Chains A and B, each alone.
Chain A
Amino acid sequence: MNRTAIDSVDSAADSAVVSLDGVSQRFVTDSGDVVHALAETDLTIPQGQFVCVVGPSGCGKTTLLKIIAGFLEPTGGTARYRGQDITEPGAERGVVFQQPNLFPWFSVRENVALGMRMRKVGKKERSQKAQEYLDLVGLGDFGEAKPYELSGGMQQRAQIARVLANETDVILMDEPFGALDAITRARLQADLLSIQRKQHRTVFFITHDVDEAVFLGDRVLVMSARPGRVVLDQEVTLSSQAGRVLGEEMRRLPEFIELRERVAGAIEH
């Protein structure tokens, strides 16, 4: 009888994968100063959205990511994942770090399969699945290699495969391509976008590069510093209509250029 009502409550909770309710963060520095790293922030991220956060360093974007990841407990407000308070890190919120940090004592394949190993997935199954994801990020032939034998770009690919293979619901990425050369970076951006479109994952992507944010995001948040806060919440329609234009051509669209200007303008203010 009450079926419909319950269903609708469920789907309302489902639609927001991550929700922040007045989340703020203060730090006390070693010298005793209080730094207001993040002003009260409300944010709702629906399933399958690719959210890019752009802003200068010190604007609190990494703080925001750490709160969602569960590495950091906010000093104010509540952060929720699918309706549940976030109190600690969890496999459903995987993180791709700025610096490659694959475990050097495992092979690339073992790194990608580690999350499954922790969940006690059988050896054969996890090895097979790890291979699928290595293929997906273009590292199919490098499963047996050690992480330190790969280039920086390849290590970042492997890191992405590690998070994808862990059946992560939300992928949190902290400037993952920041340390890469322009060519590798453009290729990885295109690959990430096509994977995200295929698998419909929810992504929270931090960058300081406006072009990257507009290129990748369905939605771009611009943050400013002291205290860190969201000053622009911009829907990006062009890439979500994609499948159409992906890759370099997109960057030449007049809408793209206009959006990029608008986002860049918001940062400067």
Chain B
Amino acid sequence: MLEQMAELVDPLYLPGPQAVLGAFIDANRCLVVDENSGRTVCGVQNYYLWEHLIASLQRIGVGVALAAVLGIALGALMSMWEPANTAFAPFLNFLRALPPLGYIGLIIVWVGIGDTSKYLLLFLAAFPPIVIATIDGVRGVREDYLSAARSMGASSPQMARFVVLPAATASIFSGVRLAVGFAWTTVVAAELNNGIPGIGGLAYISGTQLNTALTIACIIVIGLVALALDGAIRWVGDRLVPWHGKV
């Protein structure tokens, strides 16, 4: 039935599920392209599809990890020291509003076409939500937790370690979840130039080469992997913050 519907449209515009599945399988194996010479081609663009995926995951991992480390630190500083908040908040909101595609060219001019520009772009996409979630988390710590700790004789560093950080963990974690989502939506932009290997780059290039079946296969892979990753982060979060929703 799906097949029949798909035939109503030119397969170039909307390839059928079989073509997509075929593109997916072909992108993960070696094919003999010339019977006479026996020449084979493995994957697409010289990499298997899963290698493209791993390359993108690595970039997202580096970008988000960097954003988490610096974002939590800046968020903590901004929430506890008002001058820092006044100084950084406008820049952060400015950055948040920028479309990554808009400034990728600039970043390439600045740091080159290599992986650094991709890390930087993913970092910039992931950074604001983590900072904002950290600020919310720290400011939202229950007043009576703070009072209790103070009347137990907590010093400021002890307060941060024993009360504020654990209490803010749930919020910080949802910030990281959002950040990973933003990183996925940015990965295609990051991999527009010199993005092979990379699943975002592959999705883009296959589209320009009218290999729409592969484009759709890439999109589906990106979506499913993003879903799985989000589930994994939630799973970790539930284990780190088992009291969430219970107090």
Shortest Cβ distance from A64 into chain B, in angstroms? 15
Evaluate whether A94 and B144 lie within 8 angstroms (CB atoms) in the complex, with A104-B247, A146-B242 already known. no
Contacts of B243 in A (CB 8 A): 104-105, 146-148
CA distance A95 to B143 in the complex (A): 14
CA distance A95 to B162 in the complex (A): 18
Evaluate whether A95 and B145 lie within 8 angstroms (CB atoms) in the complex, with A104-B246, A105-B243, A148-B246 already known. no
Contacts of A95 in B (CB 8 A): 147-148, 151
Q: Is A93 an interface residue (CB 8 A)?
A: yes
Determine the residue in chain A with the shortest Cβ distance to B142.
Answer: A101
B247 to A147, Cβ gap below 8 A? yes
B152 to A94, Cβ gap below 8 A? yes
B153 to A103, Cβ gap below 8 A? no
CA distance A103 to B151 in the complex (A): 14
Determine the residue in chain B with the shortest Cβ distance to A69.
Answer: B151
Q: Is A88 an interface residue (CB 8 A)?
A: yes
B148 to A97, Cβ gap below 8 A? yes
Evaluate whether A89 and B147 lie within 8 angstroms (CB atoms) in the complex, with A118-B158, A119-B153, A146-B242 already known. yes
Q: Is B154 an interface residue (CB 8 A)?
A: yes
Evaluate whether A118 and B153 lie within 8 angstroms (CB atoms) in the complex, with A71-B147, A95-B148, A97-B144 already known. yes
CA distance A146 to B144 in the complex (A): 18
B151 to A114, Cβ gap below 8 A? no
Shortest Cβ distance from B53 into chain A, in angstroms? 35
Give B136-159 as 1s and 0s: 1 = Cβ < 8 Å from A's Cβ atoms. Answer: 000000101101101111110010
Contacts of B155 in A (CB 8 A): 118
CA distance A105 to B152 in the complex (A): 17
Contacts of A147 in B (CB 8 A): 243, 247
Contacts of A94 in B (CB 8 A): 151-152
Q: Is A115 an interface residue (CB 8 A)?
A: yes
Q: Is A90 an interface residue (CB 8 A)?
A: yes
A103 to B152, Cβ gap below 8 A? no
A103 to B147, Cβ gap below 8 A? no
Number of interface residues of B (CB under 8 A): 22
Q: Is B163 an interface residue (CB 8 A)?
A: yes
Contacts of A162 in B (CB 8 A): 152
Determine the residue in chain A with the shortest Cβ distance to B153.
Answer: A91
Q: Is B166 an interface residue (CB 8 A)?
A: yes
CA distance A162 to B162 in the complex (A): 15
CA distance A147 to B148 in the complex (A): 15
Shortest Cβ distance from A114 into chain B, in angstroms? 6
Shortest Cβ distance from B104 into chain A, in angstroms? 40
Q: Is A166 an interface residue (CB 8 A)?
A: yes
Determine the residue in chain B with the shortest Cβ distance to A97.
Answer: B144
Which of A88, A93, A97 has most chain B Cβ within 10 Å? A97
Shortest Cβ distance from B173 into chain A, in angstroms? 13
B162 to A114, Cβ gap below 8 A? yes
CA distance A70 to B146 in the complex (A): 13
Evaluate whether A115 and B144 lie within 8 angstroms (CB atoms) in the complex, with A104-B247, A147-B247 already known. no
Give B223-247 as 1s and 0s: 1 = Cβ < 8 Å from A's Cβ atoms. Answer: 0000000000000000001110011
Determine the residue in chain A with the shortest Cβ distance to B241.
Answer: A105
Shortest Cβ distance from A217 into chain B, in angstroms? 22
The contact of B151 among A70, A104, A117, A148, by CB within 8 Å, is A70
A–B complex contacts, Cβ < 8 Å, 5 sampled:
A69-B147, A90-B151, A90-B153, A91-B153, A119-B153
**Contacts A93-B151, A94-B151, A118-B158 known; 8 new A-B pairs at CB < 8 A:** A71-B147, A71-B151, A91-B151, A91-B153, A118-B152, A118-B154, A118-B162, A148-B247
